[in-house]
Amino acid sequence: MKLRVKVDHETYSALKEVEGEYREVLEEAINYGLSNETTSFTRIKAGIYKTEREKYKDLPSHFIYTACEDASERLDSFEKLKKRGRAYTEKPSVRRVTVHLDDHLWKFSLDTISISTKRSRVFISPTFPKIFWRYYNKGWSIASEARFRLLKGNVVEFYVIFKRDVKPYEPKGFIPVDLNEDSVSVLVDGKPTLLETNTKKITLGYEYRRKAITTGRSTKDREVRGKLKRLRERDKKVDVRRKLAKLIVKEAFESRSVIVLEDLPGRTPEHMIKDVKDKQLRLRIYRAAFSSMKNAIIEKAREFGVPVLLVNPSHTSTVCPVHGTKIVYQPDGGDAPRVGVCGKGKERWHRDVVALYNLKKRAGDVSPVPLGS
């Protein structure tokens, strides 16, 4: 949870001094990890701790520990991006710094939050929003780790992390979830339900706005950059994903069910658009963020203690779950026909509905498939 607090100049200066030395330790830790081809926190700490401790004698030693943890996370993330071909630099660059804190470096109370600095502790008094009290009063506890970032105008952005021990339950059924570009389909009590996301409209709407802003002008222009920065496409999509994830997880939690999802790889959009020639469709698929929707559901499921089962995503919408034969989708004037016919039984299947039954079948449910009209 993010808290923003405006502090006095003396407090801000003390935190700024810590941030500067933390950045230098972080950069050294990243360089050590790269030169020694390791992302291990233990190895990085063992390699640089003695040198950095002698260099920054006034800095509390646990900042060196947390900087090494930060470096380990950044290097691990960079390696994953590199494997996917999404890394555009030779090594991870430290542009923005969020200082990591462990239980030795900060103390929490409802009155003040104290943070260790080079000479003493500083105290900040945040105003807690309603969502903070919602978690705080419902059995959530505050984790031992936290983070802070410094903004302009003597503002400290503080991140408090909540945690809760969740007891797993014995599942009584399955709720398969199929992710699509403009909708999410869910099978609840044998009834397919389609939840519209409007991702297509959001994507195209913001793309048209970007073109209107940049046509005939350079993206280096200050006014253009300001207008592009104020666009909120990502925020809107994140909001939709979180709301849908909560709806699905709450339904699974109340019915004591397992959520069944396709085990989508990280390169899903690249794989889906490789044979698509329509530029607009390629853009829509690429920005649909299937993996982000999957991750939002998994993250919310962890919060509620709902089990999630990932199954093979191949051919879930093209194979009949009853006869195991291919479903033939005839062109209907659109880019992707939604209704097809089973090659053997001749029954009609909607692409999103058949995917749900196949996901449920792959999860281990072999009950008879109810067929609609």
CB of 74 within 8 A of CB of 30?
yes
Distance of CA 222 to the CA centre of its chain: 30
Going by the DSSP 8-state scheme, the letter that residue 25 receives in this structure is H
Position 39: which residue type? T
Tell me whether residue 32 is exposed, middle or buried, using C-beta atoms within 10 angstroms of its C-beta: 0 to 12, 13 to 18, 19 or more. buried
- What does DSSP say about strands 121-124 and 339-342: parallel, antiparallel, or unpaired? unpaired
Q: Which of 322, 274, 272, 269 is nearest to 292 (CA)?
A: 269
- State the CB neighbour count (10 A cutoff) for residue 143: 13
Q: How far apart are CA 310 and CA 281, in angstroms?
A: 27
- 3-state DSSP assignment of residue 104: coil
Residues of the chain with pLDDT under 50: 368, 372-373
Q: Which helix (H) or strand (E) holds 43?
A: helix 41-55
Position 372: which residue type? G
pLDDT in tens, 177-186: 998 888 899 9
Rg (CA), the chain: 25
For CATH 3.30.420, list the domain ranges present in the chain: 173-198+237-364
Going by the DSSP 8-state scheme, the letter that residue 119 receives in this structure is S
CB of 166 within 8 A of CB of 305?
yes
CB of 98 within 8 A of CB of 148?
yes
- What does DSSP say about strands 173-179 and 183-188: parallel, antiparallel, or unpaired? antiparallel
For the four alpha carbons of 123, 129, 131 and 135, in that order, the dihedral sign comes to positive
Q: How far apart are CA 99 and CA 19, in angstroms?
A: 7
130 HSE (CA, 13 A, CB side) = 0
> How far, CA to CA in Å, does 85 sit from each of 59, 89, 116?
38, 11, 40
Q: Which of 352, 356, 204, 196 is nearest to 278 (CA)?
A: 204
Torsional class of 226: left (φ above 0), alpha (ψ -120 to 50), beta (otherwise): alpha
For the four alpha carbons of 331, 337, 342 and 348, in that order, the dihedral sign comes to negative
Copy the structure tokens of residue 301.
Answer: 């499921």
CATH class of 173-198+237-364: alpha beta
Please report how the helices 61-83 and 9-35 are oriented relative to each other, as an axis angle in degrees rounded to 10. 50
User: Residue 344: its pLDDT value, please?
Assistant: 87
- State the CB neighbour count (10 A cutoff) for residue 261: 25
Copy the structure tokens of residue 200.
Answer: 């297509």
pTM: 0.72
Q: How far apart are CA 245 and CA 239, in angstroms?
A: 10
User: Residue 373: its pLDDT value, please?
Assistant: 41
